[in-house]
Structure 1
């Protein structure tokens, strides 16, 4: 698959490196040509750097791996019509040691701004180091990746990209559900930074209900 990656930071390099290793073609687009070239070199697999417009034009799927504050400029810099946009962004704002959302529904704003594109929220719950690492199972359970999107073909495309990273994706609902995925990220990351194991708050599926409701 041809993937345009917009951004040259840790998330761009982590996800891009995995996709390059899986055989995908990648163009990294960034405002700074030197940073784009450096990220492409680290990603490897023949990835090359370019402008934001280059990355958007190249990709069948386009990963937005930029700060939320840069989205306006990024979305104005290319024609996203017909593209699958993979939105891994989080609108975090520090608040007394925890995290709050500076914006309630980033994925919905992206969809409203990028006319003709198909947005899928994905990869926003874990840090770049998780995606760059090799661990894909924790406490005997595979690492699940929720996807939120309305277009079936776009969700299927991102599902395949997640599986190429040896992850277990699942469709968690339409794009209207993405705001809850964004809120979950803010809450859970805040708990991790506070030293609490967010995973331990939830029992496994088999133990979720004591009794089946009649």
Structure 2
């Protein structure tokens, strides 16, 4: 699969490197051509402009800061394309806006929310397994083909894709991240607030 990544930072490196090792072709992009080429060389990826990466990818990953996303996405040929949104508009533990829905409205892309709940270093793990249990990655999107493509990419990381519902539920994933950030800031183990599956409906 060809994957175009809008961004050349840590998330682009972490996810892109893993996907390259899984046999995918990756092009990263950034504002600074020199830094982008240097990052790409270290990943064994191609480097290009934001437009080139958008045109290159069968799947496009948005991996930039939420406050720069509008500028990066402006004018890109994304209508009807699969776009993975891993951003969180979270500051000081507060959710500022529903990024996935906003991006879908502005671009016309088939947006799938994914990869937004973990620190970048988790995505560098090969694979992310905790206590013998592979990391589960919820996917929220409205287009079945787009969700299927992202499910494949999740599996290539050694993770388990789970159905997060339609795109309207992406805001819940973003709010979950904002809530967990607030807990982590106090030193709490956020995972400990959720009981095992067999106790969800009573025990």
Measured after TM superposition, the shift of residue 209 of structure 1 is 2.5
Rounded Cα–Cα distance in structure 2 between residues aligned with 1:151 and 1:73: 25
Match of 1:156 in 2: 148
1:145 matched to 2:137? The reply is yes
Misfit runs of 4+, over 3 Å:
none
Residue in structure 2 matched with residue 92 of structure 1 by the alignment: 90
2:112 and 2:141 in contact (8 A); partners too: yes
Q: Which residue of the other structure, out of 61, 64, 85, is the alignment partner of 1:63?
A: 61
Question: TM-score under structure 2 normalisation?
Answer: 0.96
Cα distance between partner residues in 1 of 2:32 and 2:104: 25
Whether 2:125 is the aligned partner of 1:133: answer yes
Q: Is the counterpart of residue 113 in structure 1 residue 106 in structure 2?
A: yes
For the 8 Å contact 1:6–1:52, the answer to whether it is kept is: yes
Residue equivalent to 1:79: 77
Deviations, residues 53-112 of structure 1 (Å, cap 9, x unaligned): 010010010000001111111111411123110000001112xxxx11122x11001000
1:89–1:124 CA contact under 8 A, matched in 2: yes
Matches of 2:126 and 2:178, distance apart in 1: 24
Specify whether residues 34 and 77 from structure 1 end up closer, same or farther in structure 2 by C-alpha distance, changes over 3 A only: farther
Aligned-pair CA distance for 1:150: 0.2
Query: For structure 2, which runs of at least 5 residues remain unmatched after alignment?
Result: none
Which structure 1 segments of 5+ residues have no match? none
1:12 corresponding residue in structure 2? 12
What SS does the corresponding residue of 1:173 show, helix, strand or coil? coil
> C-alpha distance in 2, partners of 1:77/1:27?
19
Partner of 1:51: 49
Of residues 176-185 and 131-140 in structure 1, the stretch that sits farther from structure 2 once superposed is: 131-140
Name the CA distance, whole Å, in 1 between partners of 2:126 and 2:183. Answer: 24
Q: Secondary structure at the match of 1:148?
A: strand
Contact 1:65 1:89 in 2 (8 A): yes
